[in-house]
C-alpha cells in the first residue's frame, strides 16, 4: 500500500501512473491570413484512472487537443508524454501500435464506414491489431451489447439513428480494451436517457481503471467527471481557478525527467 512506501517509491509510482502530460502544446493551422492558433500553449497532466471533462466554447480548440492526445495529429510545438513516454519520436507501425494498445477514440463526427455493418465497424481496430476472426466477432458483439445495440449488429450506419451511430462509435472505441478512452462529445446526439446510460457505462469503465477524457458541451456530463479543464482562446484552465490564473504552470516535478 502507498502509505508503506518511501517517498522515493511514491515518486516512482506517480511517474508510472501519469496517463497524459502535455507542456506548451501548440497547434497552428494554416499560414498568413488564414493562420489560426487553435492551441496556444496548453499544459496539464492527467493521472491514470482520472475522469476529466474538457469544456469550452465552440472553436476553442477542444477537438484539436483531443486529436493530439489521441495521436491522430502532431502538435506544431510543445511536448506530450503518453503513459510516461514522449510520443514525438513515434512513427509508422510503432505509432499505430501505441495508439491501438492504449487509446480508444470516439470522434465528434463518428467516422463510421457507411457500407459496413455495425459489427464490422466495431471489429476494425481488432483487424489492425491482428485479432483472429472468430474472436473479433465475439468481442464486437460484446461491445455492441454493452452500448445496448446487440440487435443492430447487422445494420449499416445509414440505417441507424444518429444516437445509434454514436453508440457504435463508442463500441468501436471500447473493443480494443484501451487503458484510456478519449471521447469528443460522446453524448451530443443522444436523448437524455441514452446519454445517462452511456455515462453509467463510462463510470463503470472508470471504476475498472480506464482513464477518461471527455470533451463535452453538456454540464451534466461534465458534472460526472472528477475534474474539469476549460479551453478558452487556445489555453487551458482548471475549472476551479478559471477566474484566477491560467493553468499554464510548469509540468509536475516528476514529469520533468520524462519531458526534458
Is 216 an interacting residue with respect to Mg ion (CB under 5 A)? no
Query: Which member of 9, 59, 154, 226 binds ligand ATP (CB under 6 A)?
Result: 59
Q: Choose from ligand ATP, Mg ion, none: what does 75 bind? Cβ within 5-8 Å by kind.
A: none
CA distance 196 to 187: 9
Q: What is the dihedral of CA 110, 147, 199, 74, to 10 degrees?
A: -30
Q: Choose from ligand ATP, Mg ion, none: what does 30 bind? Cβ within 5-8 Å by kind.
A: ligand ATP
Q: Which is nearer to ligand ATP, 64 or 206 (CB)?
A: 64
Query: Which member of 58, 132, 158, 244 binds ligand ATP (CB under 6 A)?
Result: 58
Phi, psi of 172 (to 5 degrees): -65, -35
Q: Which is nearer to ligand ATP, 122 or 231 (CB)?
A: 231
What CA–CA distances, in Å, run from 246 to 44, 133, 233?
A: 11, 49, 11
CA distance 180 to 31: 33
Is 18 an interacting residue with respect to ligand ATP (CB under 6 A)? no
Choose the binding region for ligand ATP from 14-22, 61-69, 166-174, 242-250 (rule: CB under 6 A). 61-69
Is 219 an interacting residue with respect to ligand ATP (CB under 6 A)? no
Q: Choose from Mg ion, ligand ATP, none: what does 104 bind? Cβ within 5-8 Å by kind.
A: none
**Near ligand ATP in 95-154, by CB under 6 A:** 108
Least separation in angstroms between CB 159 and ligand ATP:
26
Query: Which member of 64, 164, 216, 254 binds ligand ATP (CB under 6 A)?
Result: 64
Is 30 an interacting residue with respect to ligand ATP (CB under 6 A)? yes
Is 61 an interacting residue with respect to ligand ATP (CB under 6 A)? yes
Is 63 an interacting residue with respect to Mg ion (CB under 5 A)? yes
Query: Which member of 45, 62, 122, 251 binds ligand ATP (CB under 6 A)?
Result: 62
Site residues, Mg ion (CB under 5 A): 63, 108
Amino acid at each position: 500500500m502507498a502509505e508503506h512506501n518511501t517517498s522515493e517509491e511514491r515518486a516512482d509510482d506517480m511517474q508510472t501512473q501519469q496517463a497524459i502530460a502535455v507542456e506548451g502544446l501548440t497547434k497552428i493551422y494554416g499560414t498568413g491570413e488564414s493562420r489560426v492558433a487553435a492551441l496556444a500553449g496548453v499544459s496539464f497532466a492527467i493521472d491514470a484512472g482520472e475522469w476529466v471533462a474538457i469544456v469550452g466554447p465552440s472553436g476553442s480548440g477542444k477537438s484539436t487537443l483531443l486529436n493530439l492526445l489521441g495521436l491522430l495529429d502532431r502538435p506544431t510545438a510543445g511536448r506530450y508524454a503518453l503513459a510516461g513516454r514522449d510520443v514525438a519520436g513515434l512513427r509508422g507501425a510503432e505509432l499505430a501500435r501505441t495508439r491501438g494498445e492504449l487509446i480508444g477514440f470516439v470522434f465528434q463526427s463518428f467516422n463510421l464506414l457507411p457500407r459496413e455493418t455495425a459489427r464490422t465497424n466495431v471489429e476494425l481496430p481488432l483487424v489492425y491489431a491482428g485479432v483472429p476472426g472468430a474472436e473479433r466477432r465475439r468481442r464486437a458483439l460484446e461491445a455492441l451489447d454493452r452500448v445496448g445495440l446487440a440487435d443492430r449488429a447487422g445494420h449499416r450506419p445509414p440505417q441507424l439513428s444518429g444516437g445509434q451511430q454514436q453508440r457504435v462509435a463508442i463500441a468501436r472505441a471500447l473493443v480494443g480494451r484501451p487503458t484510456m478512452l478519449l471521447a469528443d462529445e460522446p453524448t451530443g446526439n443522444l436523448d437524455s436517457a441514452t446519454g445517462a446510460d452511456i455515462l453509467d457505462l463510462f463510470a463503470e469503465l472508470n471504476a475498472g481503471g480506464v482513464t477518461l477524457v471527455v470533451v463535452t458541451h453538456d454540464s451534466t456530463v461534465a458534472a460526472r467527471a472528477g475534474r474539469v479543464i476549460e479551453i478558452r482562446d487556445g489555453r487551458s484552465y482548471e475549472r476551479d481557478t478559471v477566474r484566477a490564473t491560467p493553468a499554464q504552470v510548469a509540468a509536475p516535478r516528476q514529469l520533468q525527467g520524462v519531458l526534458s
